[in-house]
Amino acid sequence: MTTYHFIEIKGINVFYRKAGDPKRPVILLLHGFPTSSHMFRELIPILANDYYVIAPDYPGFGNTTSPDREKFEYTFDHITEIVAAFVDRLSLKKYALYVFDYGAPIGFRLAMKHPERVAAIISQNGNIYREGLGEKWAKREDDWKNPTQEKRDSYRTAFAPETIKNQYLDGTQNNQVSPDGYTLDIAYMSRPGNDEKQLDLIFDYQNNVKLYPAFQQYLREQQPPLLAVWGKNDVSFIPQGALAFKKDLPDSEIHLLDSGHFALETHANEIGRLILNFLKNNGI
């Protein structure tokens, strides 16, 4: 069964879910925006019979502490520091990485720092290629180059209730997506002060794009087994981002599913089976 825990990391009360036997190989699940480890609620039981599964919430997300901006810098480098310290505290010496959305730049930072720890990578709409950036990113890149308060405020729509709901529903068949996920995310994103923290991260995303060449170099040099399983109807991270892994990892396994950004909401069983087969085929 899945159990629920808190652990203090550098003054942050980090919430995480875990399931499975600690003696088995580890899978570290890294969530995206605007969600939390709750997104893995259906996947974790599928993996836990064969693996030890760990899924933390980041600072400012889910049930982890959301410190004030004056006390905590909301950047991807800083959040990665917290996740790295969390991994060390739990003594996770070897693990498969599951990276989704924001989890990709965080997970690849971890991988570059400790390549010896990464047994495999599962990317579910976790992009590290310019080919995978949907149309909205061109505007964001222009705004990063010429930032103004007006442009910053325009991104408040990213965590508006209707936007979050549409992120779950876009690209999916009618009546396939439970409202539980987006309703919870709307509640998390609506907490006082959270808007400015999320705007900080949206602005800092430019540093993830700048790191894409380094992430790709890591793949070429280390050649980790990689499974890309994407909702092909995602408008944020389009399927070309999944196919691009073949450039650096010719043996990577690519699956495009008829779903959207949050593919686990509609295809958790299929994604779970693909992960189990992929890991077993790679001796993990």
With tokens 């602005």, the residue in question is 203
Residues 88, 83: Cα–Cα separation, whole Å: 9
Cβ atoms < 10 Å from Cβ of 274:
18
Residues 201, 214: Cα–Cα separation, whole Å: 20
The candidate with the shortest Cα–Cα distance to 244, out of 144, 101, 129, is 129
The candidate with the shortest Cα–Cα distance to 101, out of 232, 236, 243, is 236
Q: Considering 31, 38, 261, 267, which one is annotated as catalytic?
A: 261
Is the torsion defined by CA of 277, 115, 236, 240 positive or negative? negative
Q: 261 an active-site residue?
A: yes
Residues 118, 108: Cα–Cα separation, whole Å: 10
Residues 131, 127: Cα–Cα separation, whole Å: 9
Residues 56, 39: Cα–Cα separation, whole Å: 11
Cα 78 to Cα 71, 175, 222, distances in angstroms = 12, 38, 24
- In this structure, what token pair is assigned to residue 241? 């981002």
Residues 188, 184: Cα–Cα separation, whole Å: 6
Catalytic residue positions? 261
